[in-house]
Structure 1
Amino acid sequence: MRRRFLRLATISVLCVGVFAAPVPVFGTEHEVLQGETDLFADRRAESVENQNLVGLWDEPEDYMHLLYSLPPTRSRLIDRIDESGEMSGYDIFYFSNDPLLSRYINAAILANPGVWESEHRWRAAMERIPQVSALPDPMVNVTQFIDEIETRVGPQETILSLSQKFPWFGKLDAKAEMALRDALAAVEQYQARIRELVASVKRSYYDLAYLDAGIRITEQDKGLLEHFADIAQKRYETGSGIQQAVIKIQAEITRDSDRLLMLRQQRESMVARLNTLMNNPPQHPIPVLAEMVVPALEFDLDRLYALGKANQQELRAAKYQIEKHDQQIRLAKKEYFPDFTVGFNYTVVDDREDALGKLNPPEGNGDNASAVVLGFNIPLWEGKLMSGVREAKELKYASERAFHRLENEMEFSVRDGVIRAETTRDQLDLYEKVLIPQAEQALESTQSAYSTGTLNALDLIDSERFLLNVRVAHARLVADYMIALADIERAIGTAFPAPPVDMHEIRRTNEQQSAEPETN
């Protein structure tokens, strides 16, 4: 019994050792997280010279450098907010000729929950790579006989088995490549979420700027009408005018008041929308926006198409999906080959207790037995294997069609944005060079004629309304033009109309600045 107890204790220790061997010893949760942070920091430091940002690199050769270089782009920018709240860095991803708009976009990128959600998703996708590329867990089996099997050298008491499965050559590599493509596609979706957020902030900002311009124009018009009402009242009091003119002008003042109420209500809604994008409370105040400066541009469709094909994040994600399904086809073909299992069995054998065994113990009495096990599965059902290959091919065909669909949608979005921008620009030229000057001259002429009694109040109101409508329409066109530029930028996936930036030079400059000692 003592020997049996010692053997069982030895087996237990062996089992504990086998189970514990592949498991690292962790400290506290903080120590684990700190260790992961240090690991990422080391990997990022190694890839500083070769790292590129998604959407601005050409055929990256080392995907892992890309994955480990992307995370710090956001965290380092958070650290670069100065005391005034200004932040530089993200403006390389978009065009803006308005410092306040740049601040709002940067704030949205840093705080928007949707962007953080996408970031966590691509980080989670990256963690799939080591999971699918690792060998399956080894198996340990312990068999304790209830009714011991008697052999020539003694009864078998316990069998300890240890086995490891080895997939066919290249299967784990194919799975790792598939997971890598999924991770890279998730990175592109993360970048696409940022681009969509930038476009949404711009649209809301430009609409808000239009509403502020509309409020300014309407308030100016209301002040002008109040001036006209004073003139009409004086003419009525002196007998040179009629009361109907005073009433008509006062009615127009009331219409302006109603318009102001509507515009202010729309402004509150747009402020709430913009604050939501920045993850601020909806009622957070936003100052009145200044008039927008319209950049003078020439649109080159071929260049824009080329930029879109090279940079649009949805297209890049679709390319990675095609590459993923290439690897899936490769994996499906390897399923025709068997997976191997290598094992080791250790059998505990007790001494013979029968009379003959005690009288004449056989050679090897009570010696434990060991054996090596080699096994493999037989890929017998060809129909299943062929279906796996066909499935992978169909998925690749679907991904290729999705890529072409996205490419067509990109070209349409670029073309649509350019048409809108060019048409709006022509309208702006017409308004600025013809309509607004004509409306101002007409109002001045009508006002002079009304003062002399040549024209009545209705003619004055018509001229005033025409100028008001022209100025409001011009403000709307300015906003529409800027929104069209934002839509073009969103379609091509990179800053527009700013020229491409040298990402390596920007990173080297940032590192040099961070390495310089602080001076008081």
Structure 2
Amino acid sequence: MNLSILILIVMSLVSPSSAAHADYQDLKNDFETYAPPPYFESRTRSAPVPADAELPQDTDFETEKKRIREMKTLWERSLSITGKETSYVRIHSARLKKLRPAASDDKLAIARVRRKFSLADLEALVLLRNPGIRAEENRLRAAAETFSQISELDEILRKYTAYTEALMPGVGPMKGKDPVKMKFPFPGILALKGQIVNQEVKAVHENVEVARRKAVTAARKAYWNLVFVRKSRKITGETLKHFRQLETVATTRYKSGTTSFQDVIKAEIRREILEEDLRTLREKQRNIEAKILELLNLPPGVQLGNPKDRKPAGKKISLKSLYPLARENRQELRRMRAMIGKMERMVEMAETMILPPYTLNLSLYEDEAVMKTGSAAMKESFPVSTSASRGAGLPKMPWYGTQDAYLRQTRQKLRALREDLRRAEAMTATMVRNAWSELDRARREAALYGNTLIDLSRSALDVSTRGYESGTVSFADVTGSYTNWLRVRLTLDRKRSDIGIALADLEEAVGTALK
């Protein structure tokens, strides 16, 4: 009896435990296999992004990118040499088309300069072949590539915010996934970046113009020096023939006893001096030709033809009109203005990023993920610690003071650049005045020798020669007349070439062609 009662009691205790264990297993299985309703999943999970998905269209951003690409294209086109692009020297399109094959073919260039060549031909060949100009053009191409780098970082950030973060539908107008700090101050900041790079490329472009100006000026000076040396060799050779004849006459008269041996010695001395002058002029001509070959990037030893132009062209130029022309066109001044423009836009961009202007307050919150709580939260919903650089009471922008100091420093540098520009403008005015004075002096002296002194020296030589033949003029007077006639002729040609050289210096000081 007692045993049966004990068995019943034990069975009554074990049966509820087994049932409870079975219910717990079912509850555990249901919990592990639970899935939220589709509506909840659609609200908490970002939609899958297709592989070929594009960024949300931002018309302002795309417009600025298009403008940047257009600026790059314009700068690349500026490297072409036509009658309009280069401000310092203008080449006729027909001449440029004719000489362009010689830009990369040494044989064609050598064949062209071996014949008679004009100053315009030399200028065109220098612009096409000079290594210094090509180097600056390559630097300009490298600077133009900066345009494509402007929006790269912004594109990466926009892709990140579009592909990895979710939309907060409860905050602001639902216009897309871009956070406010990416939408504002963009695309204004992107536009400022484009303007900064544009100003920098503009400064590099002025370096190209400076290289062209210096190379063309050197070619012009070498050309007119070559004209003078060739004329000098011709004049000196003609005078040498006269002195040889004079030496023969003096020797004959000495043998006949009508003159002294001193006259023979004087004639021989003058002949030796002129022969040495001819050798010196020959070496000067080779030096000038070597300079031209250097500018054309041709091998040394190439024989050059005779220059076509004998007298420099150009009308009288008013000094008063040159000052504003130089302030506007001189490449160094334009380069400084470009650097000033670049720094002004850098200051504006920094001020915009630190202290943004007025906003309509459309959306003040970023489009971060909804999950900010629990074990699946992507980030804390509020700060949980204080960094060493951001203590209690300090602003949320710990580097604000540093940026403000940098802005003050940049503003001072900007003021310094503006003062440098004023100083450079004053120096340019002095350079223009000096170059114009040299040109005016060369014109006046060339007119004096060409209109007056050359005729007087020729008349004096004729009178001395006839007087010496008749025995009324001494040998010293005859040699003096020949020497004076030689000096006047050489000086006349020197002054005519100086007109071309002074005009080249004046155009270099002004920074543009004056013809």
Normalised-by-shorter TM-score class:
0.5 to 0.7
Structure 2: distance between partners of 1:375 and 1:251: 104
The equivalent residue for 2:75 is 67
Q: What's the CA shift for 1:122?
A: 1.3
Is 1:81 aligned to residue 89 of structure 2?
no
Instruction: Indicate how the Cα distance of structure 1 residues 373 and 431 shifts in structure 2: closer, same or farther if over 3 A, else same.
Output: farther
Deviation at 1:125, TM superposition (A): 1.2
What letter corresponds to residue 397 of structure 2 in structure 1?
A: P
- The answer (yes or no) to whether the contact 2:343–2:410 under 8 Å persists in 1 is yes
Contact 1:417 1:484 in 2 (8 A): yes
Match of 1:259 among 273, 277, 289: 277
Higher Cα Rg, which structure: 2
Does 2:219 correspond to 1:201?
yes
Give the corresponding residue for 1:127: 145
C-alpha distance in structure 1 between counterparts of 2:370 and 2:469, whole Å: 113
For 1:241-298, what per-residue CA distance to the aligned partner results, in whole angstroms no more than 9, with x for missing partners?
A: 3332222112111100111111111111111111101111132211243672143622
Q: Show CA shifts across 1:79-113 (max 9, x none).
A: 953389799xxxxxxxxxx9611111111111111
Change (3 A) 1:100 1:290: closer
- Aligned 8 A contact 1:135 1:166 in 2: no
Partners of 2:125 and 2:376 lie apart in 1 by 70
Cα 1:296/1:319, change in 2 over 3 Å: closer
* Aligned partners of 2:203 and 2:339 also within 8 Å: yes
Partner Cα separation in structure 1 for residue 322 and residue 273 of structure 2: 45
- Look up the match of 2:348: 330
Q: Which has the higher helix share?
A: 2
Distance 1:495 1:84, change over 3 A: closer
State the alpha-carbon separation in 2 of the partners of residues 408 and 63 from structure 1: 32
Distance 1:372-1:164 versus aligned 2 partners, 3 A rule: farther
Q: State the partner residue of 2:127.
A: 109
Scaled by the length of structure 1, the TM-score of the pair is 0.67
Q: In the alignment, is the contact (CA less than 8 A) between 1:343 and 1:374 conserved in 2?
A: no
Match of 2:106 in 1: none
Partner of 1:440: 458
**1:480 to partner: Cα distance:** 1.6
Contact 2:312 2:497 in 1 (8 A): no
Instruction: Give the Cα–Cα distance (whole angstroms) in 1 for the partners of residues 495 and 459 of structure 2.
Output: 22
- Residue type matched to 1:72 in 2? S
Match of 1:406 in 2: 424
The 3-state SS of whatever aligns with 2:153 is coil
Deviations 1:331-367 (A, max 9, x none): 22134259998777999xxxxxxxxxxxxxxxxxxxx
Tell me, yes or no, if the aligned pair for 1:343 and 1:372 is still in contact at 8 Å: no
- Aligned 8 A contact 2:117 2:308 in 1: no
Matched residues in 1 for 2:502 and 2:453: separation?
23
Distance 2:470 2:444 in 1: 38
Question: Which of 314, 321, 337 is the equivalent residue of 1:319?
Answer: 337
1:449-468 equivalence runs, <5 A: 449-468=467-486
Amino acid corresponding to residue 101 of structure 1 in structure 2: L
Tell me, in whole angstroms, the C-alpha distance in 2 between the residues paired with 1:78 and 1:383: 61
Q: Equivalent residue of 2:81, what SS?
A: helix
Q: What's the CA shift string for 1:174-194, capped at 9, x where partnerless? A: 222111100111112212211
Check whether the contact 1:104–1:201 (CA below 8 A) recurs between aligned residues: yes
Contact 1:185 1:320 in 2 (8 A): yes
Instruction: Name 2:259's counterpart in structure 1.
Output: 241
Instruction: Give how far 1:171 is off.
Output: 3.1
**Structure 2 gap segments, 5+ residues each:** 1-47, 56-65, 86-90, 104-115, 161-178, 357-363, 384-394
Query: Identity, % of aligned pairs?
Result: 24
Aligned 8 A contact 2:136 2:207 in 1: yes
Name the aligned partner's letter for residue 81 of structure 1: K
Query: 2:42 corresponds to which residue?
Result: none
Larger strand percent: 1
Q: Tell me the matched-pair count.
A: 397
Give the equivalent residue in structure 1 for 2:326: 308
What's the TM-score, normalizing by structure 2?
A: 0.68
Give the aligned partner of residue 185 of structure 1.
203
Q: Is the 8 A contact 1:319 1:403 kept in 2?
A: yes
Give, in whole Å, the separation in 1 of the partners of 2:78 and 2:508: 20
Give the drift of 1:132: 2.6
Structure 1 stretch 112-121 or stretch 432-441: which is displaced more?
432-441
Q: Is the 8 A contact 2:72 2:145 kept in 1?
A: no
Compared with structure 1, are the counterparts of its residues 375 and 205 closer, same or farther at alpha carbon in structure 2 (3 Å cutoff)? farther
Q: What is aligned with 1:36?
A: none
